[in-house]
Amino acid sequence: QAFGLVWTPIYGLIAYAGARALTSGEDRAGLARALGVNLALNAAWTPLFFRAKAPRLALADVLALDAANLVLLRRFLRADRRAGLALLPYVGWTAFATALNASIAARNP
């Protein structure tokens, strides 16, 4: 239940940040690609972790997502400071999810 409560406002912030960055940034195509890659990695995690019951594969995905988050954060901050700042809860929550995923993967070899 907590995940749904957290993800709803985070997705709202991602949409807000994306709208700001894509309308004020110079490299709109590059920003859109970075956002698309990020959202694809994000979307892949749930089926890997819950449906496939593959915590190690999900961990690989979320680690890639963490890297993509840092790239996206840096690019959005350059395009529009408020857009970048709006991504901080997403970056933080994903880092928490990574730690949780790593713990579960370690306990389920």
Q: What is the pLDDT along the chain (109 residues), one digit of tens a residue?
A: 677 799 999 999 999 999 999 999 789 999 999 999 999 999 999 999 999 999 999 999 999 999 999 999 999 999 999 999 999 999 999 999 999 999 999 999 8
pTM, to two decimals: 0.94
Q: For residue 81, what are the CA distances in angstroms to 48, 50, 56, 90? A: 33, 35, 35, 15
Predicted confidence at residue 1, as pLDDT, reads: 67
Lookup result for tokens 């994306």: 18
Read off φ and ψ for residue 27, nearest 5 degrees.
-95, 70
Can you tell me the distance from the alpha carbon of 107 to that of 29, in angstroms, rounded to the nearest whole number? Answer: 41
Q: For residue 94, what are the CA distances in angstroms to 49, 66, 81, 87? A: 14, 7, 20, 11
Predicted confidence at residue 25, as pLDDT, reads: 73
